[in-house]
A and B are shown apart, each in its own frame.
Chain A
Amino acid sequence: MTEVGREKYLRSSAVVSRVIADETLVVPIRGGAGDLDSIFSFNPLGSDLWSLLEKEMSVEEMTSWVTDHYEVSEDQALGDIREFVGELLGAGLVTSVTQSLASTGELETVHASRGI
């Protein structure tokens, strides 16, 4: 499993998610999305987390959201979410925002547009 840090994460632009038969499916569509011969299915909690990752989101922010919406301890949620995000990273479904922008050469541009 890929190690998860304190940075923010975002869905990879090389995957598309669909809801089919009440299941959230994530379909890698082009090179750079990890295993293109697999598709991925989430259960309701996984679907919620995947929805959060539509925007840049840290593990801590996701944990906060989960503890607000589910009866689960913060420690338990944090551990589970770290594991979940690690699996997504390993499968190429999400990217670390810093890595993603740096790898595409867009880091400075984006920061400039945000007034940083």
Chain B
Amino acid sequence: MQVAEYSRFSGLVHEKYLGKRAPVEVSIEVTHRCPLECLHCYNNLPMADVEARSSEMTLAEHCRLLDELRDAGCLWVLYTGGEIFARKDFPDIYKEAKKRGFLVTLFTNGTLITPAVADMLAEWRPFAIEITLYGATQETYEALTQIPGSFERCMRGIRLLQERNLPLKLKTVPTSVNRHEVYEMKRLAEEEFGVEFKFDPLVNPRIDCSASPLGVRLSPEEVVALDYHDPKRRAEYGRLAAHDLAEGAGAERDTDHVYSCGGGISACAVDPTGKMSICVISHQDTYDWRSGSFQDSCGRRAPRSGHGKHAATAAGFSPFAACVRLTANWRWATLSLPSTSCAKWLTCALTRWAWKFRSTAIVPCARAARDIRKPWNPRNELRITRLTSGPGCHAPPIRLCFQFCNRKKGAARALVAPAVRITGK
């Protein structure tokens, strides 16, 4: 049987839906309740929160949602929280998704994984499981989670999944509490558990508008320093910077479009109460699925549609801007750098941040030595901005403003064999 790489298959599907309002990827938050109390979390609620529990979608509602998603052509479902296993009936919800043929990814902290849960997952193997580590040591882990014993429970969960050879990946959110252990976590994951590891320093304010997570968020300088510790990431900076600094690379990027990510177009999110939004972070202009249907939601104006084209064009790049909640404090920052000749370096830094949004950064860099940072629009969405240098002095501050571009989807070839095994995800 002919074998095709998963990435090619994924590219083919996305290519076919490009520009169409077809939700191939849906994130479903089954609960916001969680046994941990992580300082950086944007949505967690206590396990015993009666109001939160009583407002969560029932198993029957999840089944109806899954039916509608299947009928609408959704393939990838991500279950996240809160902590997904905080719901006793999550295994039932999960199995219903599997029975409908979705490729299901699970985000969990691992602390509630028991042998029974691990056995269930071995039988109903997920597409992927990602566990977030909060530290490489108990002291650091529990300093962030604020729950004694949580480190050991997480390690147990990892071992239970690993023993069953499940498709596990580990990751972390570097914060001011655990940044010194990020590379020890990487070593732990890769050498002791033999699984992939990644980190993403994106920390958002809470969806209830509290800014408390920002208290542990790393500064841009710290993020870059962390990235530069990894030769692979450093090399990626260079490669992308070279691409973005190439002559004419930014020609088609000057546009006022706000969104060109898949949010609200090829992807969307559903919160525990059935409120649909373009992603788990954006909670503006939600649609109450409980009072309607997924099909009905697709017929409505996308929350973002008034601000430009719906999707990246197949021809290449178009700008991407994250909602203000993501980047409110990062719309500009000042770095102490020796001169504007550091522009390339800064481009790399921006590239890294854009990478978090699955995008490539584009920055015409300090060639434009004027501040063209645009004001926020009334909807408080990030507008296109540029990297500029400050007024001339020997060590001018460099102002970082952001512009993001989606990477062109990789061309996918047609699958011509009668049957093709798609593997290697």
Contacts and interface: CB of A to CB of B under 8 A. Distances in A.
Contacts of B418: 42-43, 45-46, 49, 80, 84
Interface residues of A, number: 31
B103 A39 contact: yes
B124 A20 contact: no
Contacts of A46: 417-419
A57 interface: no
Interface in A46-74: 46, 49
Interface string B121-132: 011110000000
Interface of B: 1, 4, 9, 12-13, 16-17, 24, 70, 73, 75, 98-103, 122-125, 167, 415-423, 425
A75 interface: no
Contact of B420 (A28, A41, A45): A41
Contacts of A36: 125
Nearest to A34: B421
B195 to A, nearest CB: 14
- 9 closest residue pairs by CB, A with B: A16-B101, A46-B418, A21-B16, A36-B125, A38-B423, A18-B101, A41-B420, A27-B101, A29-B98
Interface string A12-48: 0000111011110101111100011111111101100
Given A20-B73, A21-B13, A29-B101, A40 B124 contact: no
Contacts of A23: 12-13, 415
Contacts of A87: 1, 419
A46 to B, nearest CB: 4
B419 A21 contact: no
A86 to B, nearest CB: 10
Contacts, number: 84
Contact of B4 (A16, A41, A91): A41
A36 B121 CA distance: 12
Contacts of A39: 9, 103, 421-422
Contacts of B415: 23, 41, 43
Nearest to A41: B420
A10 interface: no
Contacts of B24: 20
Contacts of B123: 30-31
B419 A84 contact: yes
A90 B419 CA distance: 12
11 contacts: A16-B100, A21-B16, A23-B12, A23-B13, A23-B415, A27-B102, A39-B103, A41-B9, A41-B415, A46-B417, A91-B419
